[in-house]
Structure 1
Amino acid sequence: MTTAHSSDGLGTGGWTAAVRQRLGLGRLLPLGGARDGAWLSERAATDELRLAAAEVAGAVLGRLRISLADPEGAARPAVPPPPSALPPGPLRIDGEFAAGPAEPLPAVAERLRGVLLGCATERLGLRVEEVDLRVTALLGPSGESAEGPPPGTAAPAGPDGRRPAGVRAAAPEGEPELLASAVPGVAYPTRTLGGAVVTTPGHVRVELATAAGHRPLEVARAVRARLTAALPGGPSVSVLVTAVGQDG
């Protein structure tokens, strides 16, 4: 259930997975449910989770991984998914963190768990049902670990210090891109897994970044509704969000 077939001629699942890994997108996580036809890159999700976790006093987040909580129970998406995307289903966050001495570790972990869960579900629209955290280091009085920051702490940015590395912004070209770009909450189209719009018989895949202050799931739903209604033949539409909280 965890393997989806490419529908845009980009190659086999292994090839597209290698491209995705090289570009730093990570997994393509289902946004919402099976009928929502939307996916979010793991990199974009973890960037937002790290921003939220930075507000938790006494904890420094390390490695993060998001996966299906129950791969065998995942659903079939209503539209063709992006290459190698995870199928719709509840998700699980696995993370590591360093904690300070001022508060019992279970209390710090519980606060961090609540922030991560709230960000994933309310801020992003991911169906996260489990958050498993593990303490891997203790912070000193200054808030720094004697062993250095936990592995995976830093989230490298792109050349402009804001856009995630590997996310290629693009000026809208053609009717589908122009329609998508006009939807409130769309910051700009992106070209990371190919074109900003990939068209196959009866289906259109749109790739984009969402603007600050907009929930990715709601933006994706609005883009799908706009394109389905406006494009000739009423094709099915899927949306891949590769960056969140961007300036237009």
Structure 2
Amino acid sequence: MTTADSPHRADEWTAAVRQRLGLGRLLPLGGPADGAWISERAAVAVLRRATGAPGPGPVLGDVRIAVADPDAAPRPALPAPPSALPPGPLRIEATMSATAEQPLPAAAAALRSALLTAAAERLGLVVGEVDLRVTELLDAAPERPVPEAAAVRAVEPEGTAGTAAAGVPGVAALTRVLGSAVHTGPDHVRVELATTADHRALDVVRAVRTAVADAVDGHPPVTVLVTAVVEDG
């Protein structure tokens, strides 16, 4: 049956699907016991900002992140979000362009080091491999693109769990991409949120897990999905 608001509902459904697909892979944040995941889109944006300083150094191109060895990855200690990757060490695969001002091995090594540092210190990703492929040699350093601001589908916190999560330092907003911002399952609570760039994502997640577990009756296990990392809180 067709109703007057069917086109509007269809547009909302389409937008929700596009946003879900736009997250990319759901990457493990920390280890098997951390109960934490982050969208590939959010992680790549942080890595791109961290390696995008002006200058003659290499320029990061396309980036994909996946579990380096899925068959050897341990099972998560807590229920994972739908389609999330297991919590094994990750592999970053990226392309890069460089100028002749720096030998290619040195340029690749500098970019690899910057990616590893940003992944660990800004996010809390466990990265075991960085695979870089040079796709372009440039005559001069190009203008580096300014990373787009993270798109955040923020929602107002509701209920005890949502209020507790939103009050943790480093939480920019609760978000709703996979469903509601707070999903209550039979054996755990999952919170979906965006963090601020001035806090390490994994540290924020751990604090949220503690705050929500302490606030909710029965102190259930808590997992967290980070859908964005924003510059401003």
**What is aligned with 2:4?**
none
- Answering whether residue 32 of structure 2 is matched by residue 34 of structure 1, we say yes
Q: Deviations over 1:21-73 (max 9, x none)?
A: 75411100000000000001100000011111112632111110101111111
- Answering whether residue 31 of structure 2 is matched by residue 46 of structure 1, we say no
The SS at the match of 2:130 is strand
Q: Deviations over 1:138-189 (max 9, x none)?
A: 1122x249xxx9xxx785x3xxxx233xx31111122111100011111110
The SS at the match of 1:107 is helix
**What is aligned with 2:56?**
57
User: How far, CA to CA, are the matches of 1:154 and 1:135 in structure 2?
Assistant: 21
User: How far, CA to CA, are the matches of 1:95 and 1:154 in structure 2?
Assistant: 18
TM-score, normalised with respect to structure 2: 0.87
User: How far, CA to CA, are the matches of 1:67 and 1:45 in structure 2?
Assistant: 11
**What is aligned with 2:173?**
188
User: How far, CA to CA, are the matches of 2:78 and 2:219 in structure 1?
Assistant: 13
The SS at the match of 2:154 is coil
Aligned partners of 1:214 and 1:245 also within 8 Å = no
Aligned partners of 1:180 and 1:227 also within 8 Å = yes
Where do 5+ consecutive residues of structure 1 fail to align? 1-17
Shift of 1:214: 0.4
Aligned partners of 1:65 and 1:93 also within 8 Å = yes
Shift of 1:226: 1.1
User: How far, CA to CA, are the matches of 1:211 and 1:154 in structure 2?
Assistant: 18
Alignment of 1:205-224 (within 5 A): 205-224=190-209
Question: Would you tell me which structure has more helix in proportion to its own residues?
Answer: 2
Where do 5+ consecutive residues of structure 2 fail to align? 1-15
Q: Percent identity?
A: 59
User: How far, CA to CA, are the matches of 1:163 and 1:170 in structure 2?
Assistant: 15
Matched to 1:67, the amino acid is: A
**What is aligned with 1:129?**
128
TM-score, normalised with respect to structure 1: 0.82
- Answering whether residue 150 of structure 2 is matched by residue 163 of structure 1, we say yes
- Answering whether residue 138 of structure 2 is matched by residue 139 of structure 1, we say yes
